[in-house]
Amino acid sequence: MRIKSESWKTMPANNFTILRLILAMLVVFGHFKILSGLPIGNIIHSYADFAVDAFFIVSGYLIYGSFDNSPRLKSFAIKRFFRIYPLYFIIIITQFFIMLWFLDGNVQIADMVKYLASNLVFANFISPDMGGLLANAHNPAINASLWTLKIEIMFYMIVPLIYWAVKRKGVMVLIIIYAASLAYALWANNYGSTFLAKQLPVQLRFFVIGIGLYMWRDKIKISHLPAFVLVVILFALCSLRYEWWMLPIYPFVIGGLVFLCALRLPVIPLKFDISYGVYLIHAPLIQIALLLGFFEDSISFLFMLVAVVYILAFLVEKIIEIPMVRLGKKYAK
């Protein structure tokens, strides 16, 4: 998901790549405790939900910027497909055979078809497990990260509509979308359900903040030192994200944090972009460790898990992601 600016050739260096990797690692640390059913304990394990929200803001900024650079539906759809789906497809198929191995073939064909049919179209909530393999697990999903992918895809589908509406009606479109999303979030949190509170109408407010940051990116001027101080303050505020009074302003707080880290702090260049692989690969590895009985709630095991995840993420970036992104760009032309 490397994007360019208006002329894309003059886009200043940024920290989006390392920011995405840090956010992916926060999800790994969170799932290390959540999937095992252990108490969160250390603060490093308590920011998985924060990381997901920040990912949605990053997507709002980058994906809207990508469409703004080349507002052609066919080209946009092709590039998004080749960026997201090939690795996702490999993960789903790999999970399928892993579960078959654990079940030793003792699974109904209908369950296999249901798992593949639902997961291959991002509807993993229909069949997060297969054959009851994880029925007794703390989290019955072989890959607890996949629920966000359907939200990403739905956002991709409405980006052109938001883009054209903003071009015609201006920033009021974003304000209306944010207000409606916030109202739905208030209802879902108070009278709805946990499931509804995590879906697109609620999460859309994060995407909209990302879009707004993209639109006003050149108007927000701040030097490195004040930006760093603000980052510390905003991150501290994010620790209060469960307070009722934070709900209306939380997307702005986390949006400011994302913007400052990505575009106003000194640039830390990376020659690799493995955040997507890290995000997709880690959860099944944790579940496999739990099924095999060698999961340990220890720093050494966490380091070993991260090492394996990084190795696999590097491999899939070279073997799958980079070639598929290039192929997508070729077909998009």
Reported as a single tens digit per residue, the pLDDT across 66-111 is 999 989 999 999 999 999 999 999 999 999 999 999 998 788 999 9
Give me the percent of the chain exceeding a pLDDT of 70. Answer: 96
Q: Is 196 helix (H, G, I), strand (E, B) or coil?
A: helix
Residue 11's pLDDT is 58
Q: Which two tokens stand for residue 147?
A: 């629920």
pLDDT digit string, tens, across residues 130-189: 999 998 888 999 999 999 999 999 999 999 999 999 999 999 999 999 999 999 998 888
Which region holds residue 326: left if phi is over 0, alpha if psi is between -120 and 50, else beta? alpha
Sign for the pseudo-dihedral over CA of 259, 179, 49, 163: negative
143: left (phi over 0), alpha (psi -120 to 50) or beta: beta
5-32 average pLDDT score: 81
Greater pLDDT, 126 or 197: 126
In the chain, alpha helices (H): 16-34, 48-69, 73-103, 109-119, 147-169, 172-190, 200-215, 224-238, 250-263, 275-292, 299-316, 322-332
Out of 189-198, 263-272, 314-323, which region has the weakest mean confidence (pLDDT)? Answer: 189-198
Q: What CA–CA distance (Å, rounded) separates 137 from 213?
A: 40
Of 244 and 263, which is predicted with more confidence?
Answer: 263
What is the pLDDT, as a whole number, of residue 188? 86
Does pLDDT of 219 surpass 50? yes
List the structure tokens of 102: 């654990």
Q: Is the dihedral of CA 231, 185, 29, 313 positive or negative?
A: negative
pLDDT of residue 2: 37
**Per-residue confidence (pLDDT) for residue 10, from 0 to 100:** 42
Q: How many CB atoms lie within 10 A of CB 48?
A: 21
How far lies 37's CA from each of 138, 222, 300, in Å? 6, 42, 19
Phi, psi of 195 (to 5 degrees): -65, -50
Quick one: pLDDT band at residue 6, thresholds 50, 70, 90?
very low
User: pLDDT for 270-319, tens place per residue?
Assistant: 889 999 999 999 999 999 999 999 999 999 999 999 999 999 999 999 99
- Which is more confident, 242 or 56? 56
pLDDT confidence of residue 190: 81
Q: pTM here? A: 0.93
